[in-house]
Amino acid sequence: MTASGRVAQALRTFASDVAEGFFEITHNGFALVGVSVVFALAMLSVRPDLRQVGESQLMSWLQARQVAALGMVPELDAIDRATAANPKDLPKQQAAVAYWLSKKYRVAPEPVSALVAEAYEVGRKTKLDPTLILAVMAVESGFNPFAQSPVGAQGLMQVMTGVHSDKYEIFGGKLAAFDPVTNLRVGVKVLQECIQRAGSLQGGLKFYVGAALLAEDGGYADKVMAEHARLQQVAAGRAVPLAPPGTLRTVVPVPAKDEPLAAPERAADKVASIF
């Protein structure tokens, strides 16, 4: 064999040895990784506390990455605080009412849909027409959940929070007046009591607006009943033209301190109305 042949054979032998060694190292390395993974899984199954710590650290790392990327702290449960529903998920009758109110009062259909669904549910339980509940809400606040009159009537149904604070206790306190669903439920309770006290729907509306001791309620009951009639037609599938929404303002004065009021009347007093 020539010198060049011996050199070539030596190089081939060297390359073969290197390749075999590399394969052996990587094979043993992969085997070591596999053993480590199996051991780690076994430890996690035996020590759930370690798994919880690992999951917590991983979640913290992922959240930190999201905060860095978005510039805000993610809250995946924020959707649970939203008062909203897809109008397409409502029964046809309720969806028609929600879309009509959305257009008339220029509010998003999703929160209105949630309120419509709640009004129908509460109306069924209290035996009040849900379109009446929605009519009171429309006339009182125009579906503004943060509305407040100069005399302290608050929220969607403009309940006198100070007067009816006891009704908010089971919802966590007076600040619940600004939760739309809670305000609706409390407002319906007040309306129901007013109707029972007055003995009629028209009289109950007069009590609700705080005009029980006055000769006139400034047309409040007529406005609610007119909107109630329109909503009934919408719910029945009829085409009802939109009318401009009213403007919230106070029209019924607070009774004088020395004016003789019965306790039930004082508890139901309400002094905000809409024209």
What is the tens place of the pLDDT at every residue in 198-241? 999 999 999 999 888 888 899 999 999 999 999 999 999 999 99
Instruction: Confirm if 252 and 214 have CB atoms less than 8 A apart.
Output: yes
Note whether 237 and 161 are same-domain residues: yes
Residue 245: its pLDDT value, please? 56
Is residue 141 over pLDDT 80?
yes
Domain boundary (43, 74, 105) is at 74
Domain span at residue 192 reads: 87-274
Tokens of 18: 């290197």
- Asked if the structure places residue 100 within a domain, the reply is yes
Cα separations in angstroms, 147 against 20, 121, 155, 218:
80, 24, 5, 20
Residue 60: its pLDDT value, please? 73
**Most confident range, picked from 5-9, 28-32, 196-200:** 196-200
On the 0-12 / 13-18 / 19+ scale of CB atoms within 10 A, 192 is middle
Query: What predicted TM-score, i.e. pTM, was given to this entire model?
Result: 0.67
Note whether 237 and 261 are same-domain residues: yes
Note whether 151 and 28 are same-domain residues: no
Which of these ranges, 12-16, 28-32, 76-80, 167-171, has the smallest mean pLDDT? 28-32
Residue 272: its pLDDT value, please? 37
Is residue 96 over pLDDT 80?
yes
d(CA 43, CA 46): 5
Percent of the chain predicted with pLDDT > 90: 53
Tally of domains in the chain: 2
Percent of the chain predicted with pLDDT > 70: 63
d(CA 200, CA 206): 10
- Asked if the structure places residue 79 within a domain, the reply is no
d(CA 2, CA 5): 5
CATH number of the domain encompassing residue 201: 1.10.530.10
Is residue 19 over pLDDT 70?
no
Taking residues 85-101, report their average pLDDT. Answer: 97
Is residue 138 over pLDDT 60?
yes
- 32-83 pLDDT tens trace: 555 555 555 555 566 666 667 676 777 777 667 666 666 777 777 777 788 9
Note whether 23 and 135 are same-domain residues: no
Which of 129 and 254 is assigned the larger pLDDT?
129
Taking residues 244-248, report their average pLDDT. Answer: 51
- Asked if the structure places residue 82 within a domain, the reply is no
Where does the pLDDT of residue 20 fall: very low under 50, low under 70, confident under 90, or very high at 90 and above?
Answer: low
